[in-house]
């Protein structure tokens, strides 16, 4: 198709209709997701007691991790630091941070699944 000319009008129209239908579907999904977020009916919307109880379970599981794994998990995921920043803070290599992170997360999953 040259700029400004449509050589296949039926194909062009079909593609335009499909694109419009796809965009409307995406828009509906995004609007409903935003509505759930605003109304609080999504993740994190629960009674305060349930939220606190869940937090206590996670903190207790974190306390059962070895000290260095716990430090890596907290710095990496709670403080949202990069692997390089965590490595510099703890005086270890980035590879060690990665392995502590992987092992710590696996152990946390195991601890939390048992509950």
Q: What is the CA radius of gyration of the chain?
A: 24
Measured in degrees and rounded to the nearest 5, phi and psi for residue 45 equal -95, 95
pLDDT single digits (tens) 25-39: 888 888 888 887 777
Distances from the Cα of 63 to the Cα of 55, 78, 80, angstroms: 12, 14, 19
Domain 48-114 annotated CATH 3.40.50.1220 = no
Domain edges within the chain? 1-45, 48-114
pTM: 0.57
Structure tokens, 24: 């409307």
42-99 residue pLDDT tens: 555 557 788 788 888 999 999 999 999 999 999 999 898 999 999 999 999 999 999 9
């Amino acid at each position: 198709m040259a700029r400004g000319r449509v050589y296949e009008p039926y194909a062009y129209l079909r593609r335009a209709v499909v694109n419009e239908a796809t965009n409307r579907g995406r828009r509906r999904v995004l609007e409903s997701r935003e509505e759930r977020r605003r109304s609080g009916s999504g993740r994190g919307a629960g009674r305060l007691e349930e939220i606190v109880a869940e937090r206590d379970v996670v903190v207790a599981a974190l306390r059962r991790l070895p000290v260095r794994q716990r430090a890596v998990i907290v710095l990496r995921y709670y403080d949202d630091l990069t692997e390089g920043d965590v490595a510099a803070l703890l005086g270890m290599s980035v590879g060690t941070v990665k392995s502590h992170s992987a092992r710590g997360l696996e152990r946390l999953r195991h601890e939390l699944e048992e509950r």
